[in-house]
Structure 1
Amino acid sequence: MLRPLAGLFCLCLVATDATAAEGFGFDDVAGKAHQLSQKKWSAPPGVPDFLADIEYSRFQEIRFREERNLWRGTDSRFQVMLTPAGHYFSHAVALNEIRAGEVKPIPFVRDNFTYPSEEFAKRVPADLGYAGFRLTYPLRGPDINNQFLSFAGASYFRGVGRNDGFGLSARGVAIDTGLPSGEEFPSFTEFWLEKPSAGAEQVVVHALLDGPSLTGAYRFTVRPGDALEIDVKARLFFRKSAELPGYAPLTSMFYYGENTLRPDGEWRPQTHDSDGLLVVAGDSGEWLWRPLINPASLRMSYLRADDPRGFGLIQRDRDFRDFHDLEARYERRPSAWVRPEGNWGQGNVVLVEIPTRSEVNDNIVAFWSPEEAPASGEPVDLSYTLTFGPPGISGHPSGMAMNTFLGDGNRIGGGDQKGAYRILVDFAGGPLDDIDAGADVVSQVSGIDNTEVLEHFVEYSEPTGQWRLSMLVRPAPDRNLALRAFLSRGGEPLTETWTYELPPGVDIRSQ
């Protein structure tokens, strides 16, 4: 079970005297969070209007001077770049450094940045503060400071492995995401960065979170590498009950993909940061793969996951030819995998899919939510490891659904059934890689929500070295097209369970 305990944090932009840091750690932040939870929430002071309303391209002209990196010139391989406040980053945060047994505030210095003009720089308040920070580490060479982790904006943070480009985000917590009542966005308001010792391969960051419904204390133990691993310890204090609390939330973008039609005028084959949700439940150990869609209206799916072993948003398409986008390089976007520690109890992995008409909007959210939301005054402790990196970070042991294609089931190549759809799923990996093309692999397919399965069969695809499941299915009028399928041999599963839902009004179903 998630265990009651304590924690979260507050905004403080005024520098204070250095305080002794001996023994400073997670419990100290949790104490601040607990005290803060006894007080009424107040929004942190916002940035001046000219910074809040600044255009994105102009905001990008505000650049941190790399020669001012925190820990530059020390024996640490880690360095810290500071993030300007403004635009999406509507308020500043308090930053502290823990070095040589002392906690010292990191003061705001206006000259740490270059600005679009001297006139612009004069308008920046001398006590503005920073929006967050970016950690660097020599991932691709001893003399290169590669940015690999960024904290900025509400409780968002983004990470990458060695060969990734930045993509999806994680958050400290999600509150009432997708509900008609409206989502709440708690914010990290103070950070403490522990300076690593010489040769250290990990760095520790503490954070305090505050929002209308709760406060929280966090410790992030960060290890960069081929994949970025972050051990997260959190203690949440609920000021009031939340209808839908979301733990270990992930946020991504899916505009269109191989299982949808291209929007009018689009030349790229696909555009997305993630192409599916992967879940492994603790009770059954079954691996579930859910391809993402861009719905016509907001959709919320609840995938039962008692005591979950893991869940994540995955980018399985990793070939440039999947996207043909030289600027965005979506094939380099990382996957993110959450591996819970301890027994989280009964609950669901919740998938929120929000309609979008462009790729600039993050429209996908996934998180775990307990079956019974914590009551007001009830603190919660949880721990998990969050990994950013290539799609194999989940440790998936079985065959995987690599492609999902959708077409009309009443035309040449699709079938001759009015109102039906031809769906193709290509599987590869795991035990499938060790069996001959002529093996007796069979398909197991079931329709859900009155979806009729007219036919299904599996065949080896010699050009790709994959096994293709072909299904002809027909949804009930005005109902979801909903399916579950996997491949087996001799009664034993060879693959994960592919699950799919396509509501009326989406892509081919709207025509």
Structure 2
Amino acid sequence: MQRILPLLALLGAFIPAAAMAAFGFEDVAEKARDLASKPYQAPTPIPKFMQTMSYDDYQNIRFNPEKSLWRESGSRFQVMMVPPGLFYRHAVKLNVIDAEGSHGVPFRKTDFVFADSEVAKRVPANLGYAGFKLTYPLKGEKEQNQFMVFAGASYFRGVGRDNSFGISARGLAIDTGLSRGEEFPSFTEFWLERPSPDAQAMTFYGLLEGESVAGAYEFVVYPGKVTRLKVRSKLFPRQNIELLGVAPLTSMFYYGENTGRPRGEWRTQVHDSDGLQIQDGNSGEWLWRPLLNPRTLEMDYLMTENVRGFGLLQRDREFSDYQDLQARYELRPSSWVKTEGDWGPGQVVLVQLPTENETNDNIVAFWRPKDKVTAGQALEYAYEVQFGGAELGGNPMGRAVNSYVGDGSVIGGGSEKGAYRILVDFNGGVLDKQRPRAPVLSHVTATDGGEVLEHFVEYNEALKGWRLSVLARPAEKKPLSLRAYLSLGDETLTETWTYRLPANNDIRIPE
């Protein structure tokens, strides 16, 4: 027996979660429910000098990959720790669930490499971790690739196999875009189930805490060409919430093909995402909204009866779209939220903030329920967050791949004072099955008092698709709001392209 017991102990570390000491989602939910019944207590902040350190000083604190959790067993999933500092102003508690039950992961200062000995001397031995990074052999069995990061408030980022990091997701958004200011709840504790060495999925849990709400989350992640994160949440509001944002996505749009180029910029476009895509369950409609960098805050509330999915996509996927060898925006991931169950009526909210550079995430998209969110109720949501290429969502319709906007009173645009010329290129999906001389029709409508002066569609040989041309004029001092799609007889061929150009913009030449 003495020779067998060590082997059993070793194997016990990899017993499937179902056979482990009982701890799971309902245990986290009970913790969240209990917290929601008590006054909120903010997490303990890290030392002041770490909150105010420079970006370079923070980057010079690096986790040693040789110290990754589960590296000793050769596990495909491994965990690297994120140090607090700069933007990460409080520690989170990390736990591991294995054959021995649930137990904390102690902070070890020696697991980090400090480029500055003075900083190393001042970092306390009980600092804690700001979050974690997950690694997996996405690009070859002999290397561990970072594919997901949980750090900072309720933020997390993911990539598919062929992506570089860009867009972020969050556990929850509260009052985003409202004048009184946004609330940022945080994940304060995580439990990581130890996977078997050859596992292809990993499960972990998170406890969310904020002034208005406490919540429990279950995450099951499947890394791959498209990385999928299945999410289950239970939310317990401790006070009424005016604007609850479920499954929020956060991205950056500085400028693109449908905006003016900032003076002095040589790059063609600069953005992590170029549009919002929505799939409504009841109507079956697919909608596309190109993003903007507005001069003032813009908030759009897009009605859904039973949303099946929404996402911020990066459809421009060629290097020539950006010409940036460092940022490589063509490799930034798209992200798609696939809902599970009936979420009922609500709105996909698009928040667009002005930004003067590419360092600020100025785009947020999330779903909000129609019904009011009140203290004491419990809310449950299940969905999947995907990170990958522009094909996420599985849209079978023709897609808007380019949107150009120009002055409608200049040569090449038109001769209508106060108007705009809009060009939209569609291809893909069922549209690609149409022959170049097919009698494809365009359908364009304006709202907010706008006027559609002309519209027509023609085959675009260069892109093997169809180009819609629109000349439209907004009402005086009003935004230009348009909807458009293509059809063949009674058959709809494309998604619905929607656009809202604020009255205060940089497109038209000053009179």
TM norm structure 1: 0.95
Counterpart CA distance in 2 for 1:154 and 1:509 is 40
Counterpart CA distance in 1 for 2:40 and 2:21 is 30
Counterpart CA distance in 1 for 2:197 and 2:410 is 66
Q: Does 1:53 align with 2:52?
A: yes
| Equivalent residue runs for 1:295-444 within 5 Å | 295-444=294-443
Higher mean alpha-carbon deviation, 179-188 vs 111-120, is at 111-120
DSSP 3-state at the match of 2:32: helix
* Corresponding pairs, count: 492
2:354 maps to amino acid: P
Counterpart CA distance in 2 for 1:373 and 1:113 is 46
- Which residue number corresponds to residue 132 of structure 1? 131
Deviation at 1:181, TM superposition (A): 1.4
Whether the 8 Å contact between 1:335 and 1:391 is mirrored in structure 2 is yes
Q: RMSD of aligned C-alpha atoms? A: 1.0
| Equivalent residue runs for 1:463-502 within 5 Å | 463-502=462-501
DSSP 3-state at the match of 1:300: strand
Deviation at 1:121, TM superposition (A): 0.4
1:410 maps to amino acid: S
Deviations 1:193-242 (A, max 9, x none): 01111321000110000000000000000000000001100000000010
- Which residue number corresponds to residue 16 of structure 1? none
- Which residue number corresponds to residue 141 of structure 2? 142
DSSP 3-state at the match of 2:507: helix
Deviations 1:370-414 (A, max 9, x none): 111221010111100110100112110100000000111111111
- Which residue number corresponds to residue 260 of structure 1? 259
| Equivalent residue runs for 1:86-105 within 5 Å | 86-105=85-104
Deviations 1:346-375 (A, max 9, x none): 110000000100100000000000111221
DSSP 3-state at the match of 1:212: coil
| Equivalent residue runs for 1:107-126 within 5 Å | 107-126=106-125
Counterpart CA distance in 1 for 2:509 and 2:172 is 35
Deviation at 1:137, TM superposition (A): 0.2
- Which residue number corresponds to residue 17 of structure 1? none
Q: 1:482 to 1:126 in 2, by over 3 A?
A: same
Whether the 8 Å contact between 1:254 and 1:363 is mirrored in structure 2 is yes
1:309 maps to amino acid: R
Q: Does 1:156 align with 2:138?
A: no
Whether the 8 Å contact between 2:420 and 2:508 is mirrored in structure 1 is no
Higher mean alpha-carbon deviation, 419-428 vs 93-102, is at 93-102
Counterpart CA distance in 2 for 1:348 and 1:225 is 31
Deviations 1:101-122 (A, max 9, x none): 4111000011111112222101
- Which residue number corresponds to residue 69 of structure 1? 68
DSSP 3-state at the match of 1:57: helix
- Which residue number corresponds to residue 210 of structure 2? 211
The higher relative CO (CA closer than 8 Å, separation ≥ 6) is in 1
Deviations 1:35-57 (A, max 9, x none): 11111101101111111001112
- Which residue number corresponds to residue 276 of structure 1? 275
Whether the 8 Å contact between 2:22 and 2:101 is mirrored in structure 1 is no
1:155 maps to amino acid: S
Q: 1:510 to 1:241 in 2, by over 3 A?
A: farther
Deviation at 1:450, TM superposition (A): 1.1
DSSP 3-state at the match of 2:106: coil
Deviations 1:440-473 (A, max 9, x none): 1110000111111010000111111120000011
1:164 maps to amino acid: N
Deviations 1:221-267 (A, max 9, x none): 00000000011000000000100000000000000000000011110
Whether the 8 Å contact between 2:21 and 2:99 is mirrored in structure 1 is no
Whether the 8 Å contact between 1:21 and 1:103 is mirrored in structure 2 is no
DSSP 3-state at the match of 2:391: helix
DSSP 3-state at the match of 1:321: helix
DSSP 3-state at the match of 1:432: helix
Counterpart CA distance in 1 for 2:25 and 2:74 is 25
Deviation at 1:307, TM superposition (A): 1.5
Q: 1:99 to 1:471 in 2, by over 3 A?
A: same
| Equivalent residue runs for 1:9-28 within 5 Å | 22-28=21-27
Counterpart CA distance in 1 for 2:458 and 2:80 is 52
Whether the 8 Å contact between 1:504 and 1:510 is mirrored in structure 2 is no
Deviations 1:463-502 (A, max 9, x none): 1112000001111110010100000001211000000000
- Which residue number corresponds to residue 192 of structure 2? 193
Deviation at 1:73, TM superposition (A): 2.0
Whether the 8 Å contact between 1:75 and 1:197 is mirrored in structure 2 is no
DSSP 3-state at the match of 1:454: strand
Whether the 8 Å contact between 2:170 and 2:247 is mirrored in structure 1 is yes
Q: Does 1:285 align with 2:284?
A: yes
Deviation at 1:75, TM superposition (A): 4.3
Q: Does 1:31 align with 2:30?
A: yes
Deviations 1:98-156 (A, max 9, x none): 12241110000111111122221010011100000000000000011000000000000
DSSP 3-state at the match of 1:508: coil
Counterpart CA distance in 1 for 2:407 and 2:380 is 49
2:379 maps to amino acid: V
- Which residue number corresponds to residue 12 of structure 2? none
Counterpart CA distance in 2 for 1:378 and 1:400 is 40
Whether the 8 Å contact between 1:245 and 1:373 is mirrored in structure 2 is no
1:367 maps to amino acid: F
Deviations 1:71-94 (A, max 9, x none): 002142110000010000011000
1:251 maps to amino acid: T
Counterpart CA distance in 2 for 1:109 and 1:446 is 61
TM norm structure 2: 0.95
Whether the 8 Å contact between 1:76 and 1:195 is mirrored in structure 2 is no
2:57 maps to amino acid: R
- Which residue number corresponds to residue 225 of structure 1? 224
DSSP 3-state at the match of 2:26: helix
Counterpart CA distance in 1 for 2:43 and 2:70 is 28
Whether the 8 Å contact between 2:206 and 2:217 is mirrored in structure 1 is yes
2:377 maps to amino acid: E
- Which residue number corresponds to residue 508 of structure 1? 507
- Which residue number corresponds to residue 445 of structure 2? 446
Identity of aligned residues (%): 57
Counterpart CA distance in 2 for 1:311 and 1:145 is 30
| Equivalent residue runs for 1:226-241 within 5 Å | 226-241=225-240
Counterpart CA distance in 1 for 2:332 and 2:244 is 27
Deviations 1:20-45 (A, max 9, x none): 95221000000111111111101101
Deviation at 1:309, TM superposition (A): 0.5
Whether the 8 Å contact between 1:227 and 1:387 is mirrored in structure 2 is yes
- Which residue number corresponds to residue 247 of structure 2? 248
Counterpart CA distance in 2 for 1:332 and 1:225 is 15
Segments of 5+ residues of structure 1 without an aligned counterpart are 1-19
Counterpart CA distance in 2 for 1:171 and 1:126 is 30
Whether the 8 Å contact between 1:420 and 1:475 is mirrored in structure 2 is yes
Deviations 1:303-348 (A, max 9, x none): 0012201000010000000000111100001011111111111110
2:99 maps to amino acid: A
DSSP 3-state at the match of 1:183: coil
Deviation at 1:283, TM superposition (A): 1.6
